[in-house]
Copies of this chain bind each other. A is one copy, B any other.
Amino acid sequence: MTVSPLTAAALAERFSLGLHGDGAVAVDGVATLARAGRNQLAFLANSRYRSQLAESAAGIVVLREADAEAAPGTALIARDPYTAFAKIAALFEHRPARPPGIHPSAVIDPTAQVSPGAHIGPFACIGARAEIGDGCIIGPHCVIGDDCVVGAGSELIARVTLVVRVRLGQRVLIHPGAVLGADGFGLAMDAGHWIKVPQQGGVVVGDDCEIGANTTIDRGALDDTVLEEDVRLDNQIQIGHNVRIGAHTAMAGCSAAAGSARIGRYCLIGGAAGVLGHLEICDRVVITAMSLVTSSIHEPGEYSSGTPLTDNRTWRKNAARFKQLDALARRVLAADKE
């Protein structure tokens, strides 16, 4: 949140980076290699784009040792330039002030506990027995239901709904439109009509989780739906009731996990990928985009389903043959035996 320029030497010391060139060069912001000016810092994470270095006007470039030679000016040397860049960029990020205090339009239940260090925005609603911790930012139009807890330092950008019994850890960040703690999809058939199975669990979200815009996380049926610490969910993700997601797992946009699925730690779930209910996925599993996990996974590694994209005419021919695949296989195997 600083606005004063920082020198390459200061950045090198602060983040334990190597310095190459003039340490007195100062920058006050970040940009891409292509657009950065003299007073901005850029990064090169992939040596394939090394040729862009020569044309860049960036005052400082963060890069790997192996690319340092190609830097025309001042460079900071990092083992992981992207991570170093992220840390430096955070120094220059402009974040609007959200001072502590409660907007006069907010509607707060008398039994709720709001820390005097929290910011409560316009039109926020805070329910019975809810607790809002120190340093929290509850943006405009957020609805915090009964018995919800928002841990210290958490930020709900705007228009976030915590329905009931949602307990957020510390420094949780939630983007607009997200809904946590809605009824799980629990139904039983009774004489030709559906009846609802009461959803009396809650949602527990660990420290440092991030939850994307319009993502939905249902509360548990009997026990809780759980995100362990540092889980990162992109936009429009659907998490069913009683799902458990291990620490440091990241899920990309539009992916989903059905009821009671258990996903391990350090997993990466690709965009629009799905995990069926009641499955278990071990730690360090990668699921590629739009794949469907239909049985438990016990070995770390990368997994996929689906077929490749082709022009529609070719696809139609091949797809038609998919319907005959078993018959074709039988013929091949029979021919082999002969």
Contacts and interface: CB of A to CB of B under 8 A. Distances in A.
A288 B306 contact: no
Interface of A: 30-32, 35, 80, 82-83, 85-87, 89-90, 92-94, 96, 103, 105, 107, 121-123, 125, 127-128, 139-141, 143, 145-146, 157-159, 161, 163-164, 175-177, 179, 182-183, 185-190, 192-198, 200, 208, 210, 212-214, 216, 218, 222-223, 230, 232, 234-236, 238, 240, 248, 250, 252-254, 256, 258, 271-272, 274, 276, 286-295, 301-312, 314-326, 328-329, 331-332, 335-336
A138 to B, nearest CB: 13
Contacts of A158: 125, 143, 145, 161, 163
Contacts of A210: 194, 196
Given A161-B159, A271-B256, A311 B315 contact: no
A323 B304 contact: no
A234 B318 CA distance: 30
Q: Ordered nearest first, which 7 A-B pairs have the shortest CB separation? A: A302-B312, A317-B326, A304-B315, A318-B325, A83-B188, A179-B213, A93-B198
28 contacts: A30-B200, A32-B223, A83-B188, A96-B127, A105-B105, A122-B123, A141-B159, A157-B163, A158-B163, A159-B179, A175-B182, A179-B214, A194-B248, A234-B238, A254-B254, A258-B271, A288-B312, A289-B294, A294-B309, A301-B311, A303-B311, A304-B311, A304-B312, A307-B307, A307-B319, A318-B324, A321-B328, A335-B336
Contacts of A186: 86
B329 A324 contact: yes
A323 B314 contact: yes
Given A122-B107, A322-B325, A176 B161 contact: yes
